[in-house]
Amino acid sequence: MMVSTSPSSVSRYVKTWIFYGEENNIVVKEINRICLAGNLRDNVRGPFTTMLTRNLLSVNVPCLRGFSSAAASFLRTGDTLKLSRIFTSEDVLEYSKVSHDSNPLHFDSESARNAGFEDRLVHGMLVAALFPKIISSHFPGAIYVSQSLHFRLPVYIGEEIVGEVEATNIREQKNRYIVKFKTACFKNGAIVIDGEAMAILPAPAVEQANTSA
């Protein structure tokens, strides 16, 4: 049986391998296998394989770690999105300028220790800002409706925090999607902030987002 070796048909086949995270050498082997099945001559197969592999591997594919494999590009109940960030002294200073929150616990180590903390604190609302950033990064045009918060542990300057949102309910309404999320921030596996959020999404398709800040 002859196999189509047009660039478009091969691209569709190979992109499937790349999308599900297969190694580059597997992609090359698959291209070679398709070329052989299509009876491409050796002097054509080599340049064709090199060109197609280079082009396909340069394609940006959305990072969907933690999403259902059955419909990887669409948000489903139980799917999660994560983002990690280390908050710096500069972050705290800039946030205080915008919020006018100049509590000495954020700027003076002695004041923080006298209050029972190990060192200067990151503003709790600054840490919680990870939640709308995660959602809007993956769903441009999302409307944030509500957010409840519980502050469980202090966050200190220089600590790495992982923010996570998990879809718990998705409801379609007039071509838009009302989604409830369970939200949490972690440091070293311990919850520092948790709560629930609601957002209106223009579509359930997950877009590529930069996962570092």
Residues 83 and 119 both lie in one domain: yes
Q: Read off the CATH number of the domain in which 176 is found.
A: 3.10.129.10
C-alpha angle with apex 42: 37 to 46, nearest 5 degrees? 95
Helix runs in 38-195, H state only: 42-57, 89-99, 109-114, 124-128, 130-138
Burial classification of residue 74, based on how many CB atoms lie within 10 Å of its CB (0-12 exposed, 13-18 middle, 19 or more buried): middle
C-alpha angle with apex 171: 205 to 146, nearest 5 degrees? 90
Residues 30 and 91 both lie in one domain: no
180: which residues sit within 8 A by CB, 6+ positions away? 167, 168, 169, 170, 196, 197, 198
Dihedral of the alpha carbons of 66, 68, 72, 74, in degrees to the nearest 10: -100
Domain that holds residue 45: 7-57
pTM exceeds cut of 0.75: no
What are the C-alpha distances in Å from 28 to residues 3, 7, 24, 44, 48?
17, 14, 6, 15, 11
Q: Is residue 99 part of a domain?
A: yes
- Ordered per-residue pLDDT tens for the chain, 213 residues: 444 444 444 343 333 333 333 334 444 444 455 445 445 455 544 554 455 444 433 433 333 334 333 333 588 999 999 999 999 999 999 999 999 999 999 999 999 999 999 999 999 999 999 999 999 999 999 999 999 999 999 999 999 999 999 999 999 888 889 999 999 999 999 999 999 999 999 876 665 544 444
Q: Is residue 180 part of a domain?
A: yes
Which tokens is 45 given? 């197969």
Q: What is the pLDDT of residue 17?
A: 33
Residues 20 and 48 both lie in one domain: yes
Taking Cα atoms as reference points, which of 183, 180, 182 lies closest to residue 199?
A: 180
Q: Is residue 209 part of a domain?
A: no
Domains contained in the chain, number: 2
Q: What is the pLDDT of residue 202?
A: 84
Residues 74 and 161 both lie in one domain: yes
